[in-house]
Structure 1
Amino acid sequence: MGTVIVGAVLVVIVGLIVRSMIKDKKNGKGCGGDCGHCSGCH
């Protein structure tokens, strides 16, 4: 039973992280992989 609860908590945490990353990407934050237009690489 404890394993199921820990697994569910991990799934929720990973889901929130992915959701945050998608939200940041839509808002133009984070790395888009195009270092020619990024001031953070240089």
Structure 2
Amino acid sequence: MPKLIFFIKSESVNLKNYTIKDIPGSSGRLDVISRCLLSGLL
């Protein structure tokens, strides 16, 4: 169950970051992934 909640959480954060930053390329994607992990831990 906790994994499912974490997955939904990270997905919503993912969408938010893409809307705010909207940076194409690997650098933007890495930033989004790192933010997802940080928000998941917090």
Provide the TM-score with structure 2 as the length reference: 0.49
- Normalised by the length of structure 1, the TM-score is 0.49
Larger Rg computed on CA atoms: 1
